[in-house]
């Protein structure tokens, strides 16, 4: 599916459907294609929103998890969304956590999948010399349980990013910021109902990370999905959407009966 990319108040985003806002925050190599199954499933009951995070547009000083969280806050304020269901994958989960810790007031629920914030094995510091397509293909495959999920199109996207010197500098800046910005005990402050959906075969944020989030976020529930790596919404979309829908219904129905 192709979606209309909207531009308003200097923000670039996708907005599909009507209903309570469901905001999706993508990761470091996240493209819209990562969320297409989710958009199609939820657009009939929710307003599904994907802000395109300015991973490469911010100056290097603000190319951090905190800088992206500020951007998300400004976006939410400008769009005047309320009662938000916030979902983040990988780095996007980390950004969602920093946002909710600073601005919990408009967030009705939180969903994290393969989120950084406690621990992650990143693409990290072992960047090869630019132009090593084979290396990038293998690294991209590691995101998934099934290496066939790393399609040529996806690998080409990652390769294009890693072949651009300035983008590589910003990716490394974000990855280092994610490792430095360890949220640890702060997570006990989160009050919102939180859903954790994790791939049992995630080697980037392994299952023990999900257990730690579950322990630290008081009002959280944890679901593991088998044969699934770091991006459950891409690799096992049916199972992912089912778990998410059951969780959201508990709060959406309450909200819509007021």
Q: Name the 3-class secondary structure at 197.
A: strand
Task: Read off the pLDDT of residues 120-162 as tens digits, 9 standing for 90 and up.
Answer: 776 554 555 667 899 999 989 999 999 999 999 999 988 998 8
- Digit-coded pLDDT (tens) for 49-68: 999 999 999 999 999 999 99
Q: 25-34, 118-127, 179-188, 198-207: lowest mean pLDDT where?
A: 118-127
- Altogether, the residues listed in the chain come to a count of 258
| Helix/strand/coil percent split, the chain, to 5 | 50, 20, 35
The candidate with the shortest Cα–Cα distance to 84, out of 68, 106, 69, is 106
Spell out the domain ranges in the chain: 6-121+182-257
Check residue 7 and give its pLDDT. 95
Half-sphere exposure of 196 (CA within 13 A, CB side): 26
Write out pLDDT tens, residues 215-250: 999 999 999 999 999 999 999 999 999 999 999 999
Q: Give the pLDDT mean for 90-100.
A: 97
Quick one: pLDDT at residue 30?
74
What average pLDDT score do residues 183-208 get? 96
Asked if residues 28 and 175 have their Cβ atoms less than 8 Å apart, the reply is: yes
* Percent of the chain whose pLDDT exceeds 70: 94
SS3 category, 18: coil
Q: Residue 13: pLDDT above 90?
A: yes
Distance set, CA 217 to CA 39, 99, 118, 161, 204 (Å):
27, 15, 12, 34, 20
- pLDDT tens digit sequence for 26-43: 998 777 777 899 999 999
Task: Yes or no: say if 244 and 39 are a contact pair by the CB < 8 Å rule.
Answer: no
Query: What does pLDDT average to over the chain?
Result: 91
Say what the pLDDT of residue 210 is: 98
99 confidence band (pLDDT: 50, 70, 90) = very high
Residue 85: the pLDDT is: 98
Classified as helix, coil or strand, 250 is helix
User: CA-CA distance, 58 to 247, in Å (whole number)?
Assistant: 34
Write down the CATH superfamily of domain 6-121+182-257.
Alpha/Beta hydrolase fold, catalytic domain (3.40.50.1820)
CA dist 33 and 225 (Å) reads: 20
Structure tokens at 13: 């985003």
Global pTM reads 0.94
Tokens for 16? 């599909």
DSSP classification of residue 5? P
Percentage of the chain lying above the pLDDT 90 cut? 78
Say whether pLDDT at 256 is over 50: no
In this model, does residue 254 exceed pLDDT 60? no
pLDDT given for residue 86 in this prediction: 98
């Amino acid at each position: 599916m192709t979606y209309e990319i909207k531009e308003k108040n200097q923000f670039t985003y996708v907005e599909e459907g009507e209903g309570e806002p469901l905001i999706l925050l993508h990761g470091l190599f996240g493209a819209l294609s990562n969320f297409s199954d989710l958009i199609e499933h939820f657009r009939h009951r929710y307003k599904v929103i994907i802000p395109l995070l300015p991973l490469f547009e911010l100056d290097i000083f603000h190319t951090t998890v905190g800088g992206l969280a500020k951007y998300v806050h400004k976006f939410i304020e400008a769009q005047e969304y309320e009662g938000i269901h916030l979902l983040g994958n990988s780095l996007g989960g980390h950004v969602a956590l920093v946002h909710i810790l600073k601005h919990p007031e408009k967030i009705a629920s939180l969903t994290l999948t393969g989120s950084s914030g406690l621990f992650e094995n990143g693409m990290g510091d072992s960047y090869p010399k630019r132009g090593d397509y084979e290396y990038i293909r293998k690294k991209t495959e590691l995101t998934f349980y099934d290496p066939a999920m790393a399609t040529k199109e996806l690998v080409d996207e990652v390769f294009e990013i890693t072949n651009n010197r300035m983008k590589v500098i910003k990716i490394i800046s974000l990855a280092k910021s994610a490792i430095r910005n360890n949220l640890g005990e702060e997570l006990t402050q989160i009050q919102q109902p939180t859903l954790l959906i994790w791939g049992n075969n995630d080697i980037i944020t392994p299952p023990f990370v999900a257990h730690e989030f579950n322990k630290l976020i008081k009002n959280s529930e944890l679901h593991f999905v088998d044969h699934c790596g770091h991006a459950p919404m891409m690799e096992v979309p049916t199972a992912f959407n089912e778990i998410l829908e059951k969780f959201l219904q508990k709060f959406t129905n309450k909200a819509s009966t007021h």
